[in-house]
Structure 1
């Protein structure tokens, strides 16, 4: 049975130690909320920390790349299909405003972005803006590709999923994540074509990839690899 120990750390916030029965070596992985370390059973914490110290600098470099960064007035999203900025406002409340340049989140001038509740409020506002933009942008794009390749679907849903770009049910209901608004348009098209291919081929067998390649000029695997490397801006 796995056991877990959580150790506060000035660099990573938390180091999460997990022992696993089948583990033979110490493995380390950074995530936005801390450093995750898997160790063999009965490993002594002092020894694990000693091993970790020799890798700390390299792990910190990786952690800085994935750590959740504070959102403030310097934050903006400038993707191909979605633009958003935070702007100071004389109002006492937060408000979303559509402009010709994109969406503005109007924040009181004296907003304290160091507060966790403010960070949560702003992140929720960004997600609302993403969902609204996705609901307007993605269904027509899905319809365009569906008609072009003769792959009909029954209905489309826009979700807030961060770990799954899209899905297709056996009844041909296609779900698309609002976070697709952040990726380059070629990857957005890839995800949509991927799900449309599932309306004909429900698995990831050879016929599925042959169909998807026919719609992506033979680039389906390269596009999939590129999508897997995409990192969210917040």
Structure 2
């Protein structure tokens, strides 16, 4: 059975929120080998109706992907462009993989070159992802007294060891504290994990409230909310009403969180990024362009790849 189409709001999208939205594609491109036998203008169109692989896979997806490659258990959806280059070029950046080739090179030759370069591609994509993940983790020192971003402000991390009292922070208002309880002598990793459990609990409660607030205004019904730890996107929506929101949104101001919530709910009416989609978003959030711009300019240490 064909899985529901899923559209995503990427960390780094390429569309113009106040002008002409860039065309968008779902997470995965077709795995049907026959797709390679279609005319080039059709095979690289980013407006194809596409399906997901039948089983979960490791994957990397460029937000403006229009071609794909399958490397054993790794799926890579990448951006393919024609250029004045004299040969096929590969570039890995924040968005993912971009492949460029001159007009005289056929798509079959491009596919072969991508496969030949598969080890390098996967290594570079994983390195980029790990580097940005490490950058995010280092942004917060998961120790007693550390500042943790929360809804656009900061909370002070107060660590309570079981059987002992909190070392300090007693004078802080409860709204200024992120409390965690850990075993005596807990490692930084244990403190981080305990703090993230608290943050995810806050995120789930808040996201549900905002979905309930905006869904009636858009005239849609969502069926399920899941927290995501996706490395390249803030949220996603499926035709069955299943909404996924990245729990790290809890670090950002409410205005940006609400934008992501409205964006995903709007997909339940328009499963695309067409002008009608942006009109739907604007129905309940006329200033969405400003909020979206702020989201895209969020501090790097609040993002993963």
Normalising by structure 1, report the TM-score.
0.58
Q: Does 1:119 align with 2:194?
A: no
Alignment-derived partner of residue 294 in structure 2: 226
Q: Identify the structure with bigger relative contact order (alpha carbons < 8 Å, sequence gap 6+).
A: 2
**Cα pair distance change 1:188/1:107, threshold 3 Å:** same
Distance change (3 Å), C-alpha of 1:68 and 1:154: closer
Native 8 Å contact 1:87 1:107 kept in 2: no
What's the C-alpha RMSD, in Å, of the aligned pairs?
A: 3.5
1:78 positional shift = 4.6
Label 1:165 to 1:201 Cα distance change in 2 as closer, same or farther (>3 A).
same
Q: Does 1:128 align with 2:128?
A: no
Aligned partners of 1:157 and 1:175 also within 8 Å? yes
* Correspondent of 1:154 among 223, 232, 241: 223
Q: Secondary structure at the match of 2:233?
A: coil
Q: Secondary structure at the match of 2:211?
A: helix
CA distance in 2, matches of 1:199, 1:161: 20
Q: How many equivalent residue pairs?
A: 168
Distance 1:109 1:157 in 2: 32
1:188, 1:23 → 2: CA distance? Answer: 37
What does residue 8 of structure 2 align with? Answer: none
- Tell me, yes or no, if structure 1 residue 104 matches structure 2 residue 179: yes
- Identify if the C-alpha distance between structure 1 residues 104 and 83 changes in structure 2 by more than 3 Å, giving closer, same or farther: farther
Q: Distance in 1 between matches of 2:181 and 2:282?
A: 44
Query: Secondary structure of the equivalent of 2:162?
Result: coil
* Aligned pairs (5 A) from 1:12-51: 22-23=88-89
Question: What's the counterpart of residue 279 of structure 2?
Answer: 210
Q: Is 1:141 the equivalent of 2:215? A: no
Tell me which residue corresponds to 1:200. Answer: 269
Whether the aligned pair in 2 keeps the contact of 1:198 and 1:208 (CA below 8 Å) is yes
Secondary structure of 1:73 counterpart: coil
Q: List runs of 5+ in structure 1 lacking aligned partners.
A: 1-20, 31-62, 112-117
Q: CA deviation at 1:186?
A: 0.5
Deviation (angstroms), 1:199: 0.3
CA contact (8 A) 1:172 1:199 kept: yes
Q: Matched residues in 1 for 2:231 and 2:256: separation?
A: 15
TM-fit CA distance, 1:202? 0.3
Distance 1:29 1:148 in 2: 38
1:233 shift after superposition: 5.1
Give the Cα–Cα distance (whole angstroms) in 1 for the partners of residues 242 and 92 of structure 2: 39
Distance 1:192 1:67, change over 3 A: closer
What is the alpha-carbon distance in structure 2 between the residues aligned to residue 143 and residue 224 of structure 1? 21
Q: Secondary structure at the match of 2:179?
A: strand
Taking a change above 3 Å as real, the CA distance of residues 185 and 224 of structure 1, as seen in their structure-2 partners, is same
**Structure 1 residues 94-136: Cα deviation after superposition (integer angstroms, max 9, x where no partner):** x9xxx8324312467866xxxxxx3322222222112111222
CA distance in 1, matches of 2:232, 2:246: 9
